[in-house]
Structure 1
């Protein structure tokens, strides 16, 4: 079946949103990878944190859902996994009676693709299932921040507004605090038990939804294990006798063995994100995660020796000629599929969702093709030090002007969309109506043309279940993904601001924006590592040290959510 949202790769954000998830990743034959994550932030002031000292009183009680038992339980921060064939007759019911009371609820949400007409079979079926008349105001996801700002600045705010974490800049957090409802009276503590599927949402995801001292968001959870996987062509490795490397030195030796430009074969693409993991560099996926308390001092990722060493090592791969020419020009894995399948390069790093998508792409035309994921290695051959991503990155908020009846109908919808994999509700949310939107053959669901047109990123944006991975068409991939997360989760640490949604003061909003381009220039030999050291020095003097003091005050006042 299909997943909740896949999280975007660290440092990639909205650019690879649809390819990624959430949270955890699940996709299936004939379907589109969906989404799962959530968050919240802001304090109503110029910058703030979601980790208030009173957060425990605001958080919903956690009650595990026993409606469906996963084939592979979560471990070390992983998603849960399902590997069995889909049996429609065995689907469970997680919402035995409609909680909706028939109110009309307007929802504004980002949409990637061509939105279907409001009166379509999928929307009608979902409205009947939830007992709520949901009216969609879908907006182009690529320009959503512009529309969002205009709507939140007006007095005409829809009942529900979906806001991805990457759209939380500028004045958006303040608007959230001022214009969206406190859901605590409906969900905090044992109140959430009125909505059992929401009660089964992990606590870390809910913590990201505390904004301005109140519980304001509905989350789509995701695994916190780093989701950027070093992929390789296992079929070619087996044929050529290549060994999977366990250190940076072994990786270089392997690249030298693979690379044969005359035969139009190179070892890899840009391996910067793998290098960051090999050298234990703090996460670059969200600004607060780049800080960590070390020996009593807050340190930014760019100030560490590990950061510079990772750039220097990646630079060596480029300088030695091991990297495909496309990556030299700045192209990377979003365009990688055909050339990876053709064997022009054998290794690249990208979001974990590509484990399934690349497999599915080649299944019929290239049956010998096999993509697999390397385990991260420590640069010296020891265990890696990995840093957690956020447990949720997309939110749904309810207008403060909504009546109690409308709020409860929104929660009724969310209780359906948060239904776990293996339930009738999950199937309806992610696949629509059997025979109309999908068919099932040999235990594998496949969307029809109508399903691909109508059952897209709509209802699943309102809330999601715990991070889930399931591919009935390629169960071996689903198991491999979860097992990879579990192994890597054992080496994953939580930095000081893990689990918080923090909005930096606007005066520092653009402070570190040039770092990523400089990273890319350094690894491609256009700049030197010393240029990064100079840039970090200038960053400190232009506000980096003041920003450090600001974060330290947050930490002292609110504590850390990292366990």
Structure 2
């Protein structure tokens, strides 16, 4: 799996991973990162309350170095639609904060890591004032390496952990082995690192593990990240009207589909169905719980969940879904979309720019657009917030104060906002060596493509940002879609809280996703899902509900 994978249907893991590279994507550069995770107030399970968090959280100081073209609204990213001018880049780190420490960082890496002595690493280390040594590990098999490293006595100074790698004993290891950053960042102390101070408070709240501020976060938009995309060029040509109800979607899908011509209406639309029918978030287990009339309800118990599966099942049964999607992991949904074999598919918002950039030289008529999520009956949708951060960098609690200071100095550089010299260095490298700017657009050189990959961007990142100098209209459309959808997006009871479930419940709901996929494809029945939910309750779901309810009663929500 790569972070930007787009299989036939986004799995929970590919959903998280693709969300992780979507918060900000700049033409030709490594996107900023975003996504999700588990925690407590001292023991190895539980969480930290909103009230408890207030004593821990860093002060928020908005960054005024750069003004976005589109302000954040309803949980959206910031938007930049202006041409990029190197002469106008601002400085957000006026002096070197590092004191010369050598810092070993283990991080997932997708691709081939460059040599450690390359000009990009040298320039970044010079800017930071520290010697960062990257111990890059294959992101596809990071799980395997992570557990062994956290269990060893020879752990590096910093370990980067994406939320989708936080299963099993990883949260407990974070709590027991990672440094408390509160003494360095809580309250006004964070003002020593202005770019970190501009990270939204929700992201810091979500970086509290075991009652302590332990993570350096990569913030994410809290609005839904999966977009129902459609081929706007074809829709305009054929005169297709966008549906505003579930029934209208099915009717349109039947009109579009022509199997003889190898055109199907859509790919797997399960994740869109969850939005249409208002199903609680499936991106993180705690987000799937919500207090309704005094009782905690889990997403799989709801009528909305079954209705979403039944509707998706109808799409498959009607023959409007591409046959390769029914095979689940056969081929690539995005490729079928650009080939014109399907006219609608759902994937992370990063595909909005990704597909336009990919097709710019292949099909000049190609136009992708995002459909607004509608309520199944034509009313307003009920959408649910995702997590406010996802990939975290943790500092070994055995690290010296000097090393901790220099890690924070490094994070203060990598969290610089778009439109600054530090952002360009972090995301594009050295001008002339790693990129050039043509017509207001940064373009990586061959050397840039080899060296400026997912290293420093894994340390910390600024508030979620979308900027595409090559396609400013796409950046505008993405942010405006987020803002429209954000108006209908609510926070469920455990939004913004790192929750570590008791180990005995860790795998309790793991099989639901595979069963969902079998149900919508007609291989299993809705009654099989109902039986699975009944089994889940008796095998620990009801006890887990009691555990979550006590947690909520004792701790309160992140908003309280």
Determine if the TM-score, normalized by the shorter chain, exceeds 0.5. Answer: yes
| 2:201 is aligned with 1:203 | yes
The match for 2:380 is 383
CA distance in 2, matches of 1:496, 1:366: 45
The match for 2:289 is 291
Question: Would you say the 8 A contact 2:36–2:164 is kept in 1?
Answer: no
Alignment of 1:167-186 (within 5 A): 167-186=165-184
Aligned with 2:148: secondary structure? helix
CA distance in 1, matches of 2:379, 2:443: 43
Question: Would you say the 8 A contact 1:40–1:217 is kept in 2?
Answer: no
The match for 1:164 is 162
| 2:64 is aligned with 1:66 | yes
Aligned with 2:20: secondary structure? coil
Aligned with 1:457: secondary structure? coil
Q: Deviations over 1:503-550 (max 9, x none)?
A: 111111111111111111111111111110011001000000001011
Q: Please list every run of 5 or more consecutive structure 2 residues that lacks an aligned counterpart in the other structure.
A: none
The match for 1:494 is 491
| TM-score, length-scaled by structure 1 | 0.96
CA distance in 2, matches of 1:51, 1:392: 17
Alignment of 1:49-128 (within 5 A): 49-51=47-49, 53-128=51-126
Which range moves more in the overlay, 35-44 or 7-16? 7-16
CA distance in 2, matches of 1:501, 1:524: 34
User: How many residue pairs align between the two structures?
Assistant: 557
Alignment of 1:155-304 (within 5 A): 155-304=153-302
The match for 2:504 is 507
Give 1:520's match in structure 2, choosing from 501, 512, 517: 517
Question: Would you say the 8 A contact 1:418–1:465 is kept in 2?
Answer: yes
Aligned with 1:49: secondary structure? coil
CA distance in 1, matches of 2:49, 2:173: 19
The match for 2:463 is 466
Residue 254 of structure 1 and its aligned partner are, at CA, apart by 0.6
CA distance in 1, matches of 2:125, 2:252: 55
Aligned with 2:392: secondary structure? strand
Question: Would you say the 8 A contact 2:98–2:410 is kept in 1?
Answer: yes
Q: Please list every run of 5 or more consecutive structure 1 residues that lacks an aligned counterpart in the other structure.
A: none
| 2:444 is aligned with 1:447 | yes
Specify whether residues 461 and 113 from structure 1 end up closer, same or farther in structure 2 by C-alpha distance, changes over 3 A only. same
| 2:324 is aligned with 1:321 | no
Alignment of 1:13-28 (within 5 A): 13-15=12-14, 19-28=18-27
Specify whether residues 544 and 206 from structure 1 end up closer, same or farther in structure 2 by C-alpha distance, changes over 3 A only. same
Which range moves more in the overlay, 85-94 or 501-510? 501-510
Q: Deviations over 1:216-256 (max 9, x none)?
A: 11111010000100000000000000001111111111111
| 2:553 is aligned with 1:551 | no
CA distance in 2, matches of 1:225, 1:139: 30
Residue 47 of structure 1 and its aligned partner are, at CA, apart by 2.2
Aligned with 2:406: secondary structure? helix
Specify whether residues 297 and 18 from structure 1 end up closer, same or farther in structure 2 by C-alpha distance, changes over 3 A only. closer
| 2:397 is aligned with 1:400 | yes
RMSD: 1.8
Aligned with 2:347: secondary structure? strand
Residue 455 of structure 1 and its aligned partner are, at CA, apart by 0.6
Question: Would you say the 8 A contact 1:62–1:201 is kept in 2?
Answer: yes
The match for 1:344 is 341
Residue 324 of structure 1 and its aligned partner are, at CA, apart by 0.7
Alignment of 1:390-429 (within 5 A): 390-429=387-426
The match for 1:485 is 482
Question: Would you say the 8 A contact 2:107–2:455 is kept in 1?
Answer: yes
Aligned with 1:412: secondary structure? helix
Specify whether residues 119 and 144 from structure 1 end up closer, same or farther in structure 2 by C-alpha distance, changes over 3 A only. same
